[in-house]
Amino acid sequence: MIKTQTNIKKNINSKITQHIFLFTIMAVVLIFFIHTATADYDFDGVPYTDQLKKVEYGSVKGGVIVEGGHGLEVAKGQPYEQVFSVPDGIITFSRLYVGVWGGTEKKTGTLQTTFNDHEFEILDLKGEKDTNPEVYCSGHGVYWVVYDTIDYTQSGTNKAAARTSGEIDGRVYGIILVTVYEDDNGQQVDYWINEGNPNLHSLGWAGDIGYTNDEAYVKFSGINVNEASSAGLTVAYLCGTEDENDYLYFNDNKLNGDNVADSRDYFDLLTFDVSGYLDESSEALFERGDEDYVHPVLAVLTVYSSGDWREEWMGENSDGGTAVTTSELQDAIHHWLDDILVRGHLLSTGDLQEIIATWLSG
Query: Over the stretch 42-84, which tens digit does the pLDDT of each residue have?
Result: 999 999 999 999 999 999 989 999 999 889 988 888 999 999 9
Does position 151 have pLDDT exceeding 90, yes or no?
yes
Highest mean pLDDT among 65-74, 224-233, 268-277: 268-277
Residue that wins the pLDDT comparison between 139 and 341: 139
- Phi/psi-derived region of residue 343, left when phi > 0, alpha when psi is between -120 and 50, beta in every other case: left
What b-and-e string marks burial along 175-204, b requiring 16 or more CB atoms within 10 Å of the CB? bbbbbbbeeeebbbbbbbbbbbbbbbbbee
Cα end-to-end span (Å), the chain: 84
Q: How do strand 247-250 and strand 282-287 relate by DSSP bridges?
A: antiparallel
Highest mean pLDDT among 31-45, 134-148, 315-329: 134-148
Closest CA to 286 of 237, 242, 327: 237
Closest CA to 203 of 81, 291, 312: 291
Q: What gap in Å lies between CA 108 and CA 188, rounded to an integer? A: 44
Q: What is the pLDDT confidence band of residue 10, given thresholds at 50, 70 and 90?
A: low
Q: What is the pLDDT confidence band of residue 207, given thresholds at 50, 70 and 90?
A: confident
Output DSSP code: residue 134.
Answer: T
Least confident of 84-93, 258-267, 334-343: 334-343
pLDDT of residue 4: 52
Q: What is the pLDDT confidence band of residue 3, given thresholds at 50, 70 and 90?
A: very low
Cβ-Cβ contacts under 8 Å for 246 (sequence gap 6 or more): 200, 240, 259, 260, 261, 286, 287, 288, 289, 290, 291, 294
Give the mean model confidence (pLDDT) for residues 102-122: 97
Task: Name the helix (H) or strand (E) containing 192.
Answer: strand 187-195
Q: What gap in Å lies between CA 101 and CA 294, rounded to an integer? A: 13
pLDDT of residue 197: 98
Residue that wins the pLDDT comparison between 346 and 204: 204
% of residues, the chain, pLDDT over 90: 70
pLDDT of residue 34: 39
pLDDT of residue 264: 87
Q: What is the pLDDT confidence band of residue 341, given thresholds at 50, 70 and 90?
A: low
pLDDT of residue 19: 47
Closest CA to 114 of 98, 100, 129, 126: 98
Mapped onto helix, strand or coil, the DSSP state of residue 208 is: coil
Least confident of 45-59, 219-233, 239-253, 335-349: 335-349
